[in-house]
Amino acid sequence: MARLIYASCFIFIFSFSGFCAEQMQHTDIAGTYRIVFFGSQVVKHEKEKDSALDGIADKFYISNNCKKAQELYPAIINHGLRNKCNTVTQSKILDGIVSISYDNANYLHIKSRLQMEGGVVDMSASDRYQYTVYAPIKYGNTLKGKGIVSWNYDSTNNRPSSNSVSFLESPFYITKLGKDILRIDITLVGKNVKVIDKMIKIDAVNTIILEKMDMRSTDLENKIQKQFAKIK
């Protein structure tokens, strides 16, 4: 018989207070999901000697739904000169799929593919495509793990990057929000991003909300699914 997982209440770095996860079984979690919300906030970045560059990395909050972002993080979004998110900066999800499967050793296996364009995400072309493999999660009181491997967008050749990047110290949590709805919170530790033709290192908190499309998992392909619009 499948073992019940009693997900305890816990508070994410920037999560809503008073939240408690529902009870979950591995059969409840497994399946194919579409990404309905993506949000990314820079929480730490290298200080630049050039004051004009300093602060640009955390000036915007990357999301496909700024209204939802404001609802989730009212104390962060559009606060002062940081984390701007509005209809102008908002990006569009062209393709967003997450596949979750499980094995006989009670480990969850998660893969995700996200393709976005428009708004602030176009400032960093490599981030328009993200294919991510999460470290397997052993069942426990909370669904949490650490470490991902990611491929981004090679804009020169219009394809996924040939080489992957490992974020071995990046923690992530999975929570059930309701029937067939999951949330993934992950902190990317030490991500390199290009800002005005200069590479800087950041930490970023990503929030991903998923809706189940199919009870069966998918063999998710690392391949761009839709044609990108040209960056103006």
Please name the residue ranges forming H helices in 2-113: 26-29, 66-72
pLDDT for residue 13 is more than 50: no
Highest mean pLDDT (candidates 27-31, 44-48, 106-110): 106-110
Confidence band for 46, pLDDT divided at 50, 70 and 90: low
C-alpha distances (whole Å) from 58 to each of 84, 213, 231 are 9, 33, 21
Identify which of 181, 176, 173, 177 has the alpha carbon closest to the alpha carbon of residue 210: 181
pLDDT tens for 166-216 read 999 999 999 999 989 999 999 999 888 776 677 778 899 999 999 999 999
Which residues, at least 6 apart from 162, have a Cβ–Cβ distance to it below 8 Å?
Answer: 154
Residues 9, 12, 14, 15, Cα dihedral to 10°? -30
Confidence band for 14, pLDDT divided at 50, 70 and 90: very low
Instruction: Report all structural domains of the chain as residue ranges with CATH numbers, in order of start.
Output: 26-213 (2.40.160)
Q: Residue 94: what are its φ and ψ, rounded to 5°? A: -85, -35
